[in-house]
Amino acid sequence: MLTKRIIPCLDIKNGRTVKGINFLDLRDAGDPVELAQRYAGAGADELVFLDISATEERRKTLADLVYHVAEKVNIPFTVGGGISSVEDVDILLHNGADKVSINSAAVKNPRLINDLVAKFGSQCIVVAIDAKMIHGEWKVHLVGGKVPTELDLFKWAKEVESRGAGEILFTSMDHDGTKNGFANDALARLSTELNIPIIASGGAGNSHHFVETFIKGKADAALAASVFHFKEIEINDLKKELRANGIPVRL
């Protein structure tokens, strides 16, 4: 069995790491370069760096910050926020990112996924999906969760896979920042219906939530922010607990 991955997420706004609840009420969580270094040294398997205001403000991801973060870490690093073209991805990969994450732009222009995969390979392309339960159905939201669509989570995920994306980063907006656990039912369905890795995001509050998302949610990786930023969970301790529960991880 492949080892499960633990991925700290650095949400960036105006050059600082921030964290909110249900995508709202953002508070400062520190310098992204310092946090990236800390996580790389603490045993994180990968990092995700999302410029959460890039799409909304119609500006590009902070490529120079990506360069400085990549300079300091030696683990795989995914970058997202405001990416809408092959040229955007080219800049980010040249600045040191290992993968890129696209979200709103992929929904608006699904062909972008095909174009990016053709140019850079599926292993570089992560499609992030933010979804919320609306009248009993998971609906995709855009622009940092601010714009609802009628797009069904599972149909969109299957299309994303068919277009060649290498991974899906699924964030439950209902669970985000609540620390009540991941959306394991939706994750399990995604993991069962698709053949590409699924990264769980939204809801981590304690170590047991990670155990649950790997067992019940069948996730390939679990992403979290505030529990790592504010040292509520130490990555090494988390991995020891995961291993004690029979979940293969890299220590």
CB of 73 within 8 A of CB of 104? Answer: no
CB of 187 within 8 A of CB of 200? Answer: yes
To the nearest 10 degrees (0 to 180), the angle between helices 207-215 and 235-244 is 50
Helix H or strand E encompassing 8: strand 5-13
Q: Which of 45, 130, 176, 220 is catalytic?
A: 130
Q: 9 — phi, psi (to 5°)?
A: -115, 130
130 is catalytic: yes
What share of residues in the chain are helix, strand, coil (percent, to 5)? 35, 30, 35
CB of 63 within 8 A of CB of 152? Answer: no
11 is catalytic: yes
Active site residues: 11, 130
